[in-house]
Amino acid sequence: MRRLPLPLALGLVALLLGAALLAPWIAPHDPAATDLARRLLPPSAAHWLGTDHLGRDLLSRLLWGARASFGAVAAILALVLALGCAVGMLAGMLGGVVDAVLMRLCDAFMTVPTLVLALFMIGALGTGLGNVVVAIALSHWAWYARLVRGLTLSLRQRDHILAARVAGLSRLAILRRHVLPALAGQLAVLASLDLGHWMLHLAGLSFLGLGVAPPAPEWGIMINDARPFFRSAPMLVLLPGAAILLTVLAFNLLGDALRDRLDPALREHAH
């Protein structure tokens, strides 16, 4: 099957990211300003997508919701990469007991389903967007640690690394200069495929009321809030749902496109 080309996927992500970044300037209304007299309005010139059950502008809430979702996913990404790379490279580079202990720790995290683990952590940490981000990151880093360790192990035997070691370069410097750049491509592929998954995770936990504090908008909680009005105002559910769908789709397309570009196995296949 022919996949969508990379520029298209990048363009879609850039569009959504732009909306999120520019929300404070392009949103036509304050997303938290309630006006009960103007509730559940259909789309109009003043409210392009209409208003929700408390009279808040839906378009503004969607834009600000993108901000919350993208910000949270970026934070999850940073946390997962930091934790995964640190643990994986440490295990791969040092080997021995350190490796064994860290990998058993990974096993422990990988045995529990991620959603259950995340719910457990939120139970321990408390609700709130920050805690949800930490919980999702902590339930997903182990796969990255595994991947990084494997790649580090195989890289360690390469000639140029051996040469660097013989030349007296410290382990830290080797990791920084030679291992990390070599991992970047693989990690980019894996992460871009996971971004959509995290976005869904986030929306799911937020739907359960564990994420952002009201009245801050977020797509998952917007769907939950609108549930009682599904029959009379279905757009309140469908629009945030469509936003989640589009974003997850964009990330997955990006991930696929990146894999086609960067994955060495696929590249060799193409030759």
Partner 1 sequence: MLRRSLLRALPALTALPALARTAGAAAPARSTLRFSWPANAGPLHPHLYAPNQMYAQAMLYEPLLRYVEGGQLAPALATAWRAEPDGRGHVFTLRPGVRFTDGAPFDAAAVVANIRALLARPERHDWLALVAQIEDAEALGPGTVRLRLRGPYPPALMELALIRPLRFASPAVLRPDGGISAPIGTGPWMLAETRPGQHDLFRRNPHYWGGPPALEQVLVRVAADSNTRALALEAGEIDLAYGTDQLDADTFRRFAADRRFTTAVSPPLATRLLAVNSARFPTDAPAVRHAIARGVDRAALVRHVLLDTEPAAGTLFPENFPHADLGLRAPDFDRAAAAALLEQAGWHLAPGERVRRRAGRALVLDLCFTGSDALQKSLAEAIQGDLARIGIGARLLGEDSATCLGRQKSGDFGLIFAETWGAPYDPHAFLAAMRQPAHADYQAQRGLPMKDEIDRRIGAALAGTDEAARAEEYRWLLTTLHEQAVYFPISFLTNKLVHRADLGTVPFGDTRYEIPFDRILPRG
The residue (of 16 and 62) whose beta carbon lies closer to partner 1 is: 62
Residue 127 binds partner 1, judged by CB under 8 A: yes
To 10 degrees, what angle do helices 235-262 and 6-26 make?
A: 140
Residue 234 binds partner 1, judged by CB under 8 A: no
The residue (of 30 and 107) whose beta carbon lies closer to partner 1 is: 30
The residue (of 84 and 217) whose beta carbon lies closer to partner 1 is: 217
| CA trace torsion 251, 254, 256, 257 (10° rounding) | 170
Return the residue of 8, 39, 99, 252 that touches partner 1, per CB under 8 A.
39
Q: What burial letters (b/e) apply to 234-250, b meaning 16+ CB within 10 Å?
A: ebbbebbbebbeebbeb
Return the residue of 104, 231, 269, 271 that touches partner 1, per CB under 8 A.
231
Query: Distance of CA 100 to CAs 138, 146, 152, 250, Å?
Result: 20, 12, 15, 38
Residue 33 binds partner 1, judged by CB under 8 A: yes
Percentage helix, strand, coil for the chain under 3-state DSSP, each rounded to 5: 75, 0, 25
The interface region with partner 1, picked from 21-29, 32-40, 43-51, 131-139 by CB under 8 A, is 32-40
The residue (of 90 and 202) whose beta carbon lies closer to partner 1 is: 202
Residue 34 binds partner 1, judged by CB under 8 A: yes
Give the Cα separation of 46 and 168 in Å (integer).
Answer: 68
Block residue for tokens 């749902």: 241
Compute the least distance from the CB of residue 204 to partner 1, in Å. 15
**Which chain residues interact with partner 1 by CB under 8 A?**
32-37, 39, 53-55, 127, 209, 213-215, 224-225, 227-232
